[in-house]
Amino acid sequence: MSQGTNRRGSRAGIGAIWLTLLAGAAPSSAADVLQVVATLPDLADIARQVGQERAEVSSIAVGFQDPHYVDPKPSFVVKLNRADVFIQVGLDLEIGWVPPLLNQARNPRVIRGGPGWIDASEGVEILERPTREMSRAEGDIHIYGNPHYWMDPLNGKIIAAHIARVFSSLRPEWASEFEHNRDVFARRIDEANERWQARMAPHHGTPVVAYHNSWPYFERRFGIEIAGFVEPRPGIPPTPNDLLRVINLMKSKNIKMVLHSIYYDDKPARFVAQKVGAEVVTLATSVGGGEGVEDYIKLFDYNVGLLVDAFERTGPAR
């Protein structure tokens, strides 16, 4: 994961044909429902919770898709041209595909600094910010910190508050509704978090291995210990020596679980799990990334449920 575009660069062909598609687009009037476009379905769902019937929300990426590598399409440009609000994860997660979309959309409302532009990372405590200069030899490093912050549900409350402020600034006549919806969403998160914490409490401190470094926020919130990664460096496929390293780590710590995401090749994770009698647990990293994961709260219901079931099957680590 890096600021480069060699693995996630935009495709050629974003060009003149899109201008034709944009010809009839026009900005919304003050009385209109807000037109909102988010990069990820998680951000889109939080925006729906805040906007309710006052916002029409769509997302660009889907839940089973790697958010680092999304191909720009003309339909996305049309949506962005008509949008009142654009919400991105930021921290260079979408750097390979958002800039070309915004450039072609030519919508001043949703560019950086525009009234409807939202970087959802603002106000969130960002983990793993580099403290030294990084190089490409170290893999796909995010130079602004780990961007998977939506995987802590309490950060969802921060995101919702940011969205409510922008919605209110654009439609002040509906500000009280947005604020009410924000508060309802925050209460739902707090109530659900009590349930999640109770389920995870018996497994606090249990070490696991992950394929990719997508989980520091989830790890901190739910008390698991990610002891290592199958990838030797972010975005670098493991070699046989790397797999042996992970196998030895799992044996030494009696680790019985490998966390995985649906959009990565699962062969390396399954290989090391088979060698040590562990399980591969494929968690959802976004809304829509698993069966029944229809909204942001269900994302954590799903992941916590899978983890607790797996912990109960595999037993405690020694």
Over the stretch 71-97, which tens digit does the pLDDT of each residue have?
888 899 999 999 999 999 999 899 989
Nearest CA among 300, 215, 286, 258 for reference residue 67 = 286
Stretch 263-269: mean pLDDT: 93
pLDDT digits (tens, 9 = 90+) for 111-154: 999 999 999 999 999 999 887 665 555 556 678 899 999 999 99
Q: What is the pLDDT of residue 130?
A: 81
Res 178: pLDDT: 98
The whole-angstrom separation of Cα 20 and Cα 277 is 57
